[in-house]
C-alpha cells in the first residue's frame, strides 16, 4: 500500500509517539519514491497539533 | 457464529477504552483471561474479574506476566478463547510465550496498553514505542498481526476483530492500545449479539485415528483439537513436523517456518485495516495510528481553517 501511495504523492509524514518505529517501515516501503519525514515524540503526552501542522506545511514545500 | 446474547452489553454507553476493550472481548466470546495487574491496563482485568462470574468466564490473577502469557495458551488448547492484558514492562516479559504461541499456532490475544518507556518509564502516561516489539520482540522469524485502536469505540470493535483474526490464522494477535485511548471516556455503541460476527475455532472434522495435528488446510492453517475429546496430540515450541513431534532438521525448519510466514503474508491485503482520505490531488499524506491519529485529524482540520494562533 505504501509502495503504491509513494508513487502518487510528494511526501509522507509519519506521526507516532516514539522516535521512529513505523516511520522506518514506511521509509523502506516508499523506497525513495516520496519524501518521508517523522514527527517524533518521546511519550508522556500527545503531540501538540500545531507541531504536526508545521510538519505538514514543511512537507508540502 | 454469534455471541451469547446474555453476555453482550448491548446498548449505548459512556465507557473508557479499557472498559470497552473488556466488553468487546466478552462479545468476542473470550471466556478465559489470565493477567497480572499493571498500569495503565489494570481497569481491563478489574472489569473482567467483575464481569466474568456473570457470563461464565474464568479470570485468574497470575503471579506474573510469564505465567499469564502461558496460562492463556493452556486454556486455548482446552477449548477456551483467551487473552492476557498488560503494559510495556509486562509485554517485555511475555515475549518468549508470544513466540511459543506463534510456533504452536495457538490462537489468543495479547493486549498491550502502551505507556512511556523504556523500563518502568511512565506508568500513568502514554507511549507508542512498543510497536516494533510487537513486530519483532520474540526471537526467530515470524509474521504477526497487530491492531491499534484510536477510540473506545474501536477498542470494542477491534478487539472482536483481534479474536477473529487469531482464530482464522491461528496466531497470537497483538492489541496495541495506548494510555490515552485506554483512559478516555466516550460514547460506545454495542450492537445486539445477533449483529456481532465471531469467527468459530477451526476444529478438526477427521476422527482421532486419521487426524494429523499440523496438517494445514489450503490456506496453510491447520485445524485444532480440544483436549479431552479423544485426540492424542503433542504440542511443542521445538521445530516439529505435521504430527507435532520435534524434528530438528533444516528441512523441517524450512517447511514449518515458511508456512508460518506464508499463512499471514498470503492474506495481508485482507488483514490490513486502515482508514484513508487520499484523492488524486493529494500531495502530502500524514500516516498515524492510535491516539496520535486523532491529533493528526485536528492538525489536518486546521489546514482548512488557517494556522494555529501560536505559529
For residue range A2-61, what is the model confidence (pLDDT) as tens digits? 999 999 999 999 999 999 999 999 999 999 999 999 999 999 999 999 999 999 999 998
Whether the link from the prior residue into B40 is cis, omega within 30° of 0, is yes
CB contact under 8 A, B127 and A5: no
Q: Which residue of A has its CA nearest to B280?
A: A8
Nearest CB to A12; choose among B272, B287, B307: B287
Q: How sure is the predictor about B305, in pLDDT bands with cuts at 50, 70 and 90?
A: low
Does A9 touch chain B if contact means CB atoms closer than 8 Å?
yes
Interface test with A, best of B299, B307, B309 (most A CBs within 10 A): B299
C-alpha closest to that of B61 among B48, B51, B73, B74: B48
- Residue B20 DSSP SS3: helix
The answer, yes or no, to whether ipTM is higher than 0.90 is yes
Question: How does the average pLDDT of chain A come out, rounded?
Answer: 96
Q: What is the mean pLDDT of residues B199-215?
A: 94
Contact predicate B189/B175, CB 8 Å: no
CB contact under 8 A, A44 and B278: no
B295: chain A residues, CB-CB within 8 Å: 15, 46-47, 49, 52
Residues 6+ apart with CB under 8 A from A16: A22, A23, A38, A39, A40, A41, B128, B131, B288, B289, B292
Residue located via cell numbers 462479545: B27
Distance CA B259, CA B220 (A): 6
Q: Which residue of A has its CA nearest to B282?
A: A9
Size of interface A-B (CB pairs under 8 A): 119
A38: chain B residues, CB-CB within 8 Å: none
pTM of the model: 0.96
Q: How far is B113 from chain A (nearest CA, A)?
A: 13
Does A30 touch chain B if contact means CB atoms closer than 8 Å?
no
CB contact under 8 A, B129 and A54: no
Share of chain B above pLDDT 90, in %: 90
CB contact under 8 A, A12 and B131: no
Residue-level pLDDT at B1: 86
B121: chain A residues, CB-CB within 8 Å: 43
Contact predicate B45/B33, CB 8 Å: yes
Distances in Å between the Cα of B256 and the Cα atoms of A22, B46, B137 are: 28, 39, 20
Distance CA B280, CA A47 (A): 28
Nearest CB to B286; choose among A10, A15, A21: A15
pLDDT digits (tens, 9 = 90+) for B45-78: 999 999 999 999 999 999 999 999 999 999 999 9
Residue located via cell numbers 492500545: B177
Q: What is the mean pLDDT of residues B117-141?
A: 97
B131: chain A residues, CB-CB within 8 Å: 16, 18, 21-22
Amino acid at each position: 500500500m505504501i509502495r503504491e501511495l509513494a508513487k502518487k504523492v510528494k511526501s509522507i509524514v509519519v506521526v507516532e509517539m516514539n522516535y521512529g518505529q513505523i516511520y522506518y517501515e514506511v521509509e523502506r516501503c516508499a523506497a525513495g519514491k516520496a519524501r518521508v519525514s517523522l514527527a517524533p515524540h518521546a511519550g508522556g503526552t500527545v503531540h501538540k497539533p500545531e507541531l504536526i501542522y508545521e510538519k505538514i506545511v514543511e512537507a508540502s514545500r | 457464529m454469534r455471541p451469547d446474547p446474555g453476555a453482550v452489553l448491548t446498548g449505548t454507553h459512556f465507557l473508557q477504552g479499557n472498559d470497552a476493550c473488556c466488553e468487546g472481548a466478552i462479545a468476542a466470546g473470550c471466556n478465559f483471561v489470565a493477567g497480572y495487574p499493571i498500569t495503565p491496563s489494570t481497569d481491563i482485568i478489574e472489569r473482567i474479574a467483575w464481569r466474568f462470574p456473570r457470563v461464565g468466564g474464568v479470570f485468574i490473577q497470575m503471579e506474573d506476566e510469564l505465567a499469564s502469557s502461558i496460562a492463556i495458551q493452556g486454556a486455548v488448547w482446552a477449548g477456551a478463547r483467551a487473552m492476557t492484558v498488560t503494559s510495556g514492562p509486562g509485554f517485555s516479559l511475555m515475549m518468549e510465550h508470544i513466540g511459543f504461541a506463534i510456533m504452536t499456532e495457538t490462537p489468543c490475544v495479547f493486549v498491550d496498553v502502551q505507556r512511556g518507556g523504556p523500563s518502568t518509564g511512565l506508568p500513568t502516561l502514554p507511549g507508542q514505542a512498543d510497536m516494533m516489539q510487537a513486530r519483532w520482540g520474540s526471537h526467530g522469524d515470524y509474521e504477526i498481526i497487530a491492531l491499534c485502536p484510536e477510540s473506545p469505540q474501536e477498542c470494542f470493535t477491534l478487539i472482536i476483530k483481534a479474536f477473529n483474526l487469531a482464530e482464522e490464522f491461528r496466531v497470537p494477535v497483538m492489541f496495541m492500545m495506548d494510555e490515552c485511548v485506554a483512559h478516555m471516556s466516550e460514547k460506545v455503541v454495542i450492537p445486539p449479539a445477533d449483529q456481532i460476527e465471531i469467527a468459530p475455532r477451526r476444529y478438526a472434522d477427521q476422527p482421532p485415528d486419521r487426524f494429523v495435528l499440523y496438517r494445514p488446510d489450503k490456506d496453510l492453517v491447520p485445524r485444532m483439537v480440544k483436549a479431552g475429546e479423544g485426540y492424542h496430540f503433542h504440542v511443542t515450541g521445538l521445530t516439529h513436523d505435521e504430527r507435532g513431534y520435534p524434528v530438528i532438521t533444516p528441512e523441517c525448519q524450512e517447511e514449518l517456518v515458511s508456512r508460518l510466514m506464508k499463512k499471514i503474508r498470503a492474506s495481508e491485503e485482507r488483514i490490513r485495516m486502515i482508514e484513508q482520505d487520499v484523492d488524486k490531488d493529494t500531495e502530502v499524506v500524514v500516516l498515524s495510528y492510535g491516539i496520535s491519529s486523532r491529533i493528526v485529524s485536528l492538525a489536518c482540520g486546521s489546514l482548512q481553517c488557517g494556522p494555529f494562533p501560536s505559529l
